[in-house]
A and B are shown apart, each in its own frame.
Chain A
């Protein structure tokens, strides 16, 4: 029998408890164990950024994090950005056509949110640096950069 470990944590501000499979990564745990489908599998190797989540306010690639290590921690994902109203970043992504297929979008939004939380007025270079770990294959990075800058510069509608 594989050992299962209980994990108590907060997910997007709500108390959650679930069992992690032995050796299960946080991405699989959130998707299959808890049912939050917003982090995406793209590579499982920490290179694409589609699975980016916040753990205690810091960006992490959930495919590289052991699920049991978030016990007692605060985890935030893209699905928590819209509680209850849409985050200004989500609105800006909608207005600026910053998502085409939408697969990289949740990870991109989490990276952008983390940036604006620690630096509400980033420069273009700082925006580029912040999303440099998030690969996008169809939208192109420019609309994404523009959407994030629009929020930073207060141009986006809240």
Chain B
């Protein structure tokens, strides 16, 4: 049973929070217990067609030729789609936030970078017919060497996963091949430390495994619009992505979602809606594209694997004076949300502890594994496991109770965090005290008397006089596309100029495609062919009310008002 110890938050809350610890009725519970909640697959359509993908059996391979002729003549097959049928056959999810370069085809037509990557899609009258026809699509592969480990992937000569990213690393802010955090001088602290404690931590990818597999059903609405029922957790991501990929105004797409049979982050990638809608557009009939359980496990994007190296400088009394992180986040074959997960994770370092010297280099690394995506606290959960395991290791080294060590090093109100924000509303000391109480561990008088409200600020509120900076990992001449352009300089499509000249053809437009695909990083709506109006951009200036909020800094978009 959850208990709420209001005394710890007496200065922050005056309500009674009397719902905590008591079950409450969900507003949608009656539908759930009567089996009437409308999940995407519960919508009936006469003449529903089934779409299934032809997938790569290889981790990394060039596509020499895709022969769909036999499949097209199979019983029940209505249409076979390949990359040239997709109006904009290249996307990155966060392009909707203007972050990152389009890197992932909807249906790959030149190269595959992970096992299970879709290269064609069969649309047939029954699921069994679609399965049979998928087997009849012939793909001529040129198998390439692959890399499945983050540290192997960044070694010189490693197989190149994506042509646009040199050395298999995402480029941050157009400047560095990793996300940096620098606060104080860790090397000086290491030189004068009583103990150096080092650790290496590895997390595996984790599949979200919702009981409802991901999918969507799209159908012509007979009013020049298409309805799309989807399992998505991110309806507006899916709407925006479908509009972009299909070069269709979002006003022509009627999305219905919100009833999700478990998601946990695994249903944000907008994989199914564009192909289901494209199928409905090209056949004029309702089309369902849903993963079976095997696909959910094999190609469903998991929580990314992470590898962390942590090095601490520790005083004899247990005080941590420096912490250095080297992190490798396994993005898999494409970016999806991993670049963002790292920004979030680096903002979280060095964990909820006041450490005067902090250093982090965190790499978003491409490998030939299934692309990673969101899952419950992604970007934070993995490194927290590393940090807390490391805290226990530090406690062991100095011979302290691990709870006491945490209380000693916890943030107090008023402390300066490594990313230069003041710590507020801290409660870790109190949490540790309750944990000790529940576990029957007797704390020292000092640890018992500690509170988050006192002992912070002052000297601990200072930004270090000297912070050691460096140019490690500096990349010159890399054009990240429009997101890094702050003042409108350069209006043409961006290109990744840091790459060798051989890189460009990999994602070049298909000459015969109708309408033409666009090059890798030309993701601005202004570049779209005139076939269909792109969705209207929201006005740049907002009404006066929104200007009154506090300034807020976002690593993705810079300073903005709330």
Contacts and interface: CB of A to CB of B under 8 A. Distances in A.
B35 A103 contact: no
A42 B293 contact: yes
A93 B33 contact: yes
Contact of B35 (A38, A48, A138): A38
Interface string A75-105: 0011101100010001001111101111111
A7 interface: no
Nearest to B29: A94
Contacts of A37: 35-36, 42
Given A40-B211, A97-B24, A101-B212, A78 B35 contact: yes
- Tell me what chain A mostly uses at the interface: helix, strand, loop, or mixed: loop
Interface in A2-42: 21, 23, 31-32, 35, 37-42
Interface string B189-211: 00000000000000000001111
A82 B29 CA distance: 14
A99 B32 contact: yes
A102 B231 CA distance: 13
A79 B211 contact: no
**Which size class do A's interface residues fall under?**
35 or more
A124 to B, nearest CB: 17
- Tell me what chain B mostly uses at the interface: helix, strand, loop, or mixed: loop
A158 interface: no
Nearest to A89: B33
Contacts of B213: 41-42
A14 B394 CA distance: 68
A96 B292 contact: no
Contacts of B264: 137-138
B211 A99 contact: no
A51 to B, nearest CB: 10
B24 A105 contact: no
Contacts of B211: 40, 42, 48, 50, 101, 103-104, 135-137
A94 B259 CA distance: 17
Nearest to B260: A101
Contacts of A31: 42
Of B29, B33, B209, the most chain A CB neighbours within 10 A belong to B33
A99 B35 contact: no
A135 B293 CA distance: 14
A11 to B, nearest CB: 13
Given A94-B29, A103-B211, A137-B208, 9 more contacts: A37-B36, A38-B35, A39-B35, A42-B211, A90-B33, A97-B23, A101-B263, A104-B211, A137-B209
**Which 5 pairs across A and B sit closest by C-beta, in order of nearness?**
A38-B35, A102-B32, A103-B261, A90-B33, A43-B293
Interface of A: 21, 23, 31-32, 35, 37-45, 47-48, 50, 77-79, 81-82, 86, 90, 93-97, 99-106, 109, 135-138, 143
